Amino acid sequence: MKILFVCQANVARSQMAEAYYNHFTNSKDAISAGVLDFTPAKYGHPIKEVIQIMKEDGLDVSKQKVEFLTEQMVKDSDKVFVMCAEKECPEFLLKSGKVTFWDVTDPFEKPIEGFRECRDIIKNKVKKLVEK
């Protein structure tokens, strides 16, 4: 099953979800993307706080790339889990019939503890998803 995780910029929440899903399933079945086009020249990879907190949990996300959501990504996915506001999502995503919204607060510009809380919420949601 191909899974797509989506958040605003693909530098934090969706990157964490992708890493956990692929780790728990021992696969590469999950990818992630952002709905806002934050140029890879600015970020390129997950932000340093995400790299740090995921490393604390034994996962290296430093080589994951920031991706901008495309219609093809949605078409190629069986399920899509979205962690940003519906109003930020393109119509092709919302009309796909594949979307489940996860209420996960964006940790961007919060202290590192906010990132850890976000990580733990995402980890638990992904664990439950994999257990189904």
18-22, 23-27, 32-36 — which is least confidently predicted? 32-36
H/E stretch holding 54: helix 48-56
- Predicted TM-score (pTM) of the model is 0.94
Distances (CA, A) of 121 to 43, 57, 83, 97, 102: 23, 13, 12, 24, 10
What is the C-alpha separation between 22 and 20, in angstroms, rounded? 6
- 36-90 pLDDT, tens digit per residue, is 866 554 556 678 999 999 999 999 999 998 899 999 999 999 999 999 999 999 9
CATH number at residue 39: 3.40.50.2300
Structural domain containing residue 126: 3-131
Q: In what order do the strands lie in the sheet with 79-82?
A: 30-34, 3-7, 79-82, 99-101
Q: How many domains does the chain have?
A: 1
CA proximity to 8, closest of 95, 108, 80, 92:
108
